[in-house]
Structure formats: structure tokens, C-alpha cells
């Protein structure tokens, strides 16, 4: 019996089953050289492979948005240009040209210091595998043909593998690589399959029918469990299932504390897909729409129309509150199409509202899009990283300018849109009373606030145990902000990770926090805590 401890839980749950080792075919390209005369033939091979892959993806795209994105990737100019250049310019055959171009594009995504964007490298690799399989005449492995209960263990799983999963047979998923925002994680979560990702080397130590117990709550894998452990996990699995059903039954209960206070339970999202998922959790609205993902997924600053399209759809999907945070770029979030100056301390640098106020035309495109989307629901604007009243006033002035323009152009917009702000800098905490007189609402961003108050980089693994939002300084700051907001009659919410931590609920309710906004997966647990307090 061997125990492995893992930090990344992608989808909660407990599973016990024998292993299915999922091995990939060999996609290594044949490295033979070509002559100039053969270039046209190699280009034709690529064109044929591309056409076949496009046909397969078009069919899949009708059922799953992920494949619509893959379809765009196959058709992308960068891929075509890269492959053509390598065939004609460097006389590489189609297999090598595709392999190298895909690696280059994936490396570009991988360089962005953001977990979500890093995962997009997996998508382009998935597309690359389809193309390589076509070029090499390989039949892709099919998880869908599984007919016994199993825990799948793989180096990594790609969306094309994951969508075929049948939850009747796949009881758990473990991948050696991958992150919690990967598509395998998203799909596994939607199917309620316990999943642990990024667990490190494991495959080689497993036989084909090795039994595994996995706890995707605490992050434990037990390989070859003894009888006692096996029985223990079976019992816990049943308890977990009962608990899940109990939480599901609570889902329709409004979050009201025992003393009758109605608490708003909201979700943090990055795109329309997230909103759809979050709505299943019976939420009161979206407390944080991280608009930067729209910018990071793009190849250019999204135009007003492109943004309006997304925000108006979001407002229609979620006509309850929809809080759109204006661009929060910089720090660890970069854009592939915009060069940031190298900074000594990017988290203390040119980021978020500082960029928006400096790049006013770009800021106005976003504000106009949000104002226009406001007619479709209850949309609110939230400014990130505020440190001074001057900044808040400047941002509000740009909003007024946009309103005047829209009015003159005869375009519909929300004249009374609420303008709130994140409290995530020490300055905004100390100035909370003044800010509360001029902002319509506050949302406390404990992720940055903890980092700035404790002078601990939020991403530094070495300091992870000291990065603690229960630190008395952070708790004092939160209490102060809530009091300051209430004194001026504005609502105070929280959209940092602390809001989704069931252990923090009691404390935050004592401080009279009005709104908890978190990733969708935490909502059931926080609701239960609220109902119990
Ligand atoms: C925060 O800082 O708490 C927050 C919610 O914003 P982000 O995590 O996007 O910086
Ligand atoms: Mg923040």
C-alpha cells in the first residue's frame, strides 16, 4: 500500500476502483527531409489533414464550445503561416512542420504567467495531436469504449479524450500533469467525477489492474489499499454521496441566517460558459466578472462591439446582479498583443485601473460596452486596485463622458448604472470611509489585499503557509471596511477566495458581510454554513 498526497483537486469526491492506464499513441514526427520539388506535396498533405480535422471538429463543436475554439485554432492564420514557412522555407516535411509550429504556439501560451492562459496551451496541443494522427495515419485512442468501472490514470487528458467519458464507468480521473482550470477539470466537474490533476509521476508504478482509492476532497491517492483501507474508503464514498445529495437538496433554500439576515450568494466568472455553470447553483448574481479573460483570450484589444456582444449576453443570462470588473491586467496577467515594460515589481506596477486611466480610449471602449449592456439586466461596474479618491473620481468622470457620447449618438444605455470598487489595497482600506461616500458598493478582494497587507507574493509557493487571510491584520481590515461601508449605507461584498472558504463564513457573517462571491464549486458549501449560523 502506498499513499500519495496531492495539492490540486479539480473535482471533489471519493472513488474506489481498479486503474485504467491511459497511454497515448506515439505522435513523434518522421524526421525525413524533403526537396524543393516535394514541398507542394507536403503542403497538400497538411491541407488534407486540416480539412479532415476541421470536419471532425465541426461535428463536435455543435455539442461542445471547447471544440468550437479548437476549430478556430485549426483555421488560425498563425498555424497555416508557420507550417507553410517550415515546408517551403526550411524544407521540413508536413509532420515536422506541424509538430514544430504547434510547439511554438503552445510555448507562447505557456509563457503567459496565468494558469488559465497556460491551459490554453493544452488546447493547441490537442489540435496538434489530431493533425499528427491524420498525417501519421494513427487511430486516436477511445476512452468511450470502456465497459467496466475504472479510475483513469493518464499523463494528461485532452478535451477530445474527456468528452467521450461515460460517468457510468469512469469513477475517477488522475492526471500526472495539468491544472485545475484545464478543460479536463472543467468537464470532470460538470460530470461530478472525482478528479486530481498535476499529481506528478504515478503511471509507471501502476499495474493495469491496480486498485486505487482516491479522496479528491483532501487530495489523497492510496495505491494497492489493504482490506481495512478499502472498507474505510467504500464507507466514506457512500457518506460523501449522501452528503452531496443533502447539499443538492439545500440548493433551493435561500441563504438566510438563523437570525433572519438574507445573504447574497454570488459567483465569480471569467466567461459566458462559467455563468451558465454558476446559474445551476441557484445564485443571486455574479459578484465578479473578470473581464480581463476576454482581453487575454483575444489577439487584439476587444472592440466595443465585441465586448458588448459578450456583456449583453451575460446580462441576459444573468438578469440578477452582474458585476463587471473593468480590465485588471498587469501584475501576473499579460496580453500577447501588447508589450508591457519590464518592471522590477509587477504587482506594485502598472496594472488594473492605472492602465485603464492611462489608456483612456481603450477604457472608454469597455465602459461604453458595459453601459450599453446595462439595458439588458442589472449590470454594475466595478473598478479594481483603487488607491485614491482622485482615481475613483477620474474613473467616474470617464463613465460620465461615455454616457454623454452614447446619449448624443442615440444609443441605449443604463443611465443609473452602479459604480463600485474593489477593496484590495491597504490604501483603500484606510480610506474606506471616504471611498464609501463616493462609491455605490464595495467588494473586498482578499487575494490581493492579503498579499499587500502581509507583503507576501500571492503566488510564492515558499511562502504559501504564511499567506493567510485569517491573519489578524487582514481580519481587522475586513471588519473596518464593512463598518465603513455600512456607515454610509452601501453594501459590502467579498470576491476574493476567502468568500468561498466554508471555514471563514461564520467570521464574515459576524462582521456583517452582505455578499459572498466565489467560484461556483464552493457555493453549496458556503450556503450550508450560512444556513447553520
Ligand atoms: C482579489 O484580489 O481578491 C480578486 C478577487 O481579484 P483577482 O484575484 O482577480 O486579483
Ligand atoms: Mg485582485
CATH of the domain at 17: 3.50.30.10
Of 381 and 179, more confident:
381
Of 376 and 460, more confident:
376
Q: Is the CB of 478 under 6 A from ligand 1?
A: no
Gap from CA of 424 to ligand 2 centroid (Å) = 6
Residue 399 pLDDT level (bands cut at 50, 70, 90): very high
Claim to verify: residue 177 and residue 319 sit in the same structural domain? no
- Residue 390 domain-assigned? yes
**Cα atoms in the Cβ-side hemisphere of radius 13 Å centred on 77:** 1
Give the SS3 label for residue 139.
Answer: coil
Residue nearest ligand 1's atom 4 by CA = 445
- Residue 253 domain-assigned? no
Claim to verify: residue 171 and residue 188 sit in the same structural domain? yes
d(CA 452, CA 466): 13
Q: Is the CB of 490 under 6 A from ligand 1?
A: no
Claim to verify: residue 204 and residue 223 sit in the same structural domain? yes
Claim to verify: residue 375 and residue 316 sit in the same structural domain? yes
Q: What does each C-alpha distance from 408 to 276, 403, 412 come to in angstroms?
A: 35, 9, 10
CATH code where residue 117 lies: 1.10.274.10
Query: Out of 130-144, 256-270, 489-503, which region has the weakest mean confidence (pLDDT)?
Result: 130-144
Q: Which range of residues forms the domain containing residue 175?
A: 2-24+141-227
Q: Is the CB of 445 under 6 A from ligand 1?
A: yes
Query: Out of 69-83, 107-121, 388-402, which region has the weakest mean confidence (pLDDT)?
Result: 107-121
Claim to verify: residue 69 and residue 11 sit in the same structural domain? no
Which of 136, 169, 185 is the last residue in one of the domains? 136
Gap from CA of 269 to ligand 1 centroid (Å) = 12
Number of the ligand closest to the Cα of 497? 1
CATH code where residue 491 lies: 3.20.20.60
| Grid cell in block for residue 32 | 525525413
> How confident is the model at residue 104, as a pLDDT?
92
- In the predicted model, is pLDDT for residue 491 greater than 80? yes
Using alpha carbons, select from 453, 528, 463, 451 the residue that is nearest to residue 497.
451
Gap from CA of 445 to ligand 2 centroid (Å) = 6
Claim to verify: residue 371 and residue 516 sit in the same structural domain? yes
Claim to verify: residue 207 and residue 284 sit in the same structural domain? no
Number of structural domains the chain divides into: 3
Q: Tell me the residue ranges of DSSP E strands in 176-260.
A: 195-196, 211-215, 220-223
Share of the chain above pLDDT 70, in %: 97
The catalytic site residues sit at 183, 495
Gap from CA of 453 to ligand 2 centroid (Å) = 13
CB 10 within 8 A of CB 189: yes
Q: Which residues contact 462 (CB under 8 A, 6 or more apart)?
A: none
Claim to verify: residue 72 and residue 102 sit in the same structural domain? yes
Which of 114, 136, 158 is the last residue in one of the domains? 136
Residue nearest ligand 1's atom 7 by CA = 447
> How confident is the model at residue 181, as a pLDDT?
55
d(CA 234, CA 218): 16
Claim to verify: residue 287 and residue 380 sit in the same structural domain? yes
Which of 136, 169, 196 is the last residue in one of the domains? 136
Q: Is 160 exposed, middle or buried (0-12, 13-18, 19+ CB in 10 A)?
A: buried
Share of the chain above pLDDT 90, in %: 66
- Residue 248 domain-assigned? no
d(CA 222, CA 296): 39
- Residue 86 domain-assigned? yes
Query: What average pLDDT does the structure give for the chain?
Result: 91
pLDDT tens by residue, 164-175 = 788 889 999 998
Residue ranges of alpha helices (H) inside 112-176 are: 115-136, 159-162
Amino acid at each position: 500500500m502506498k499513499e500519495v498526497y496531492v495539492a490540486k483537486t479539480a473535482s471533489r469526491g471519493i472513488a474506489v476502483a481498479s486503474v485504467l492506464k491511459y497511454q497515448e499513441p506515439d505522435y513523434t514526427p518522421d524526421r525525413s527531409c524533403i526537396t524543393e520539388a516535394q514541398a507542394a506535396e507536403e503542403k497538400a498533405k497538411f491541407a488534407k489533414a486540416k480539412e479532415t480535422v476541421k470536419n471532425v471538429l465541426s461535428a463536435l463543436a455543435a455539442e461542445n464550445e471547447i471544440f468550437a475554439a479548437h476549430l478556430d485554432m485549426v483555421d488560425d492564420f498563425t498555424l497555416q503561416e508557420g507550417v507553410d514557412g517550415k515546408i517551403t522555407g526550411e524544407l521540413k516535411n508536413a509532420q515536422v512542420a506541424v509538430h514544430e509550429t504547434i510547439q511554438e504556439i503552445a510555448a507562447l501560451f505557456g509563457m503567459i504567467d496565468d494558469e488559465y492562459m497556460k491551459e490554453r496551451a493544452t488546447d493547441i496541443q490537442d489540435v496538434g495531436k489530431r493533425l499528427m494522427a491524420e498525417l501519421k495515419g494513427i487511430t486516436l485512442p477511445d476512452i468511450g469504449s470502456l465497459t467496466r468501472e475504472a479510475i483513469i490514470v493518464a499523463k494528461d487528458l485532452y478535451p477530445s479524450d474527456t468528452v467521450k467519458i461515460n460517468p457510468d464507468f469512469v469513477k475517477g480521473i488522475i492526471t500526472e500533469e495539468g491544472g485545475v482550470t484545464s478543460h479536463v477539470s472543467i468537464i470532470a466537474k460538470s460530470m461530478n467525477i472525482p478528479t486530481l490533476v498535476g499529481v506528478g509521476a504515478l503511471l509507471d508504478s501502476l499495474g493495469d489492474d491496480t486498485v486505487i482509492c482516491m479522496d479528491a476532497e483532501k487530495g489523497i491517492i492510496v495505491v494497492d489499499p489493504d482490506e481495512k483501507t478499502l472498507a474505510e474508503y467504500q464507507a466514506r464514498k457512500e457518506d460523501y454521496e449522501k452528503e452531496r445529495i443533502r447539499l443538492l437538496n439545500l440548493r433551493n433554500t435561500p441563504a438566510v441566517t438563523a437570525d433572519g439576515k438574507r445573504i447574497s450568494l454570488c459567483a465569480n466568472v471569467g466567461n459566458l460558459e462559467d455563468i451558465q455553470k454558476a446559474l445551476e447553483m441557484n445564485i443571486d448574481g455574479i459578484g465578479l466578472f473578470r473581464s480581463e479573460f476576454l482581453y487575454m483570450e483575444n489577439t487584439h484589444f476587444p472592440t466595443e462591439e465585441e465586448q458588448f456582444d459578450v456583456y449583453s449576453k451575460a446580462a441576459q443570462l444573468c438578469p440578477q446582479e452582474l458585476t463587471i470588473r473593468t480590465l485588471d491586467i498587469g501584475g501576473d496577467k499579460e496580453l500577447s498583443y501588447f508589450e508591457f515594460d519590464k518592471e522590477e515589481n509587477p504587482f506594485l506596477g502598472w496594472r488594473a485601473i492605472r492602465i485603464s486611466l492611462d489608456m483612456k480610449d481603450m477604457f472608454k471602449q469597455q465602459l461604453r460596452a458595459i453601459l450599453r449592456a446595462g439595458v439588458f439586466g442589472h449590470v454594475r461596474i466595478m473598478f479594481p486596485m483603487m488607491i485614491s479618491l482622485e482615481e475613483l473620481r477620474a474613473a467616474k468622470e470617464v463613465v460620465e463622458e461615455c454616457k454623454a457620447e452614447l446619449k448624443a449618438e442615440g444609443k441605449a444605455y443604463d443611465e443609473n448604472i452602479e459604480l463600485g470598487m474593489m477593496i484590495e489595497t491597504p490604501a483603500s482600506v484606510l480610506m474606506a470611509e471616504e471611498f464609501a461616500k463616493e462609491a455605490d458598493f464595495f467588494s473586498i478582494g482578499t487575494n490581493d489585499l492579503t498579499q499587500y497587507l502581509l507583503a507576501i507574493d500571492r503566488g510564492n509557493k515558499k511562502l504559501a503557509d504564511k499567506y493567510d487571510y485569517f491573519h489578524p491584520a487582514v481580519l481587522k481590515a475586513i471588519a473596518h471596511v464593512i463598518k465603513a461601508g455600512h456607515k454610509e449605507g452601501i453594501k459590502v461584498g467579498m470576491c476574493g477566495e476567502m468568500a468561498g472558504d466554508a471555514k471563514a463564513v461564520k467570521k464574515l457573517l459576524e462582521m456583517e458581510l452582505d455578499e459572498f462571491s466565489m467560484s461556483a464549486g464552493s457555493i453549496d458549501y458556503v450556503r450550508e454554513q450560512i444556513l447553520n449560523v
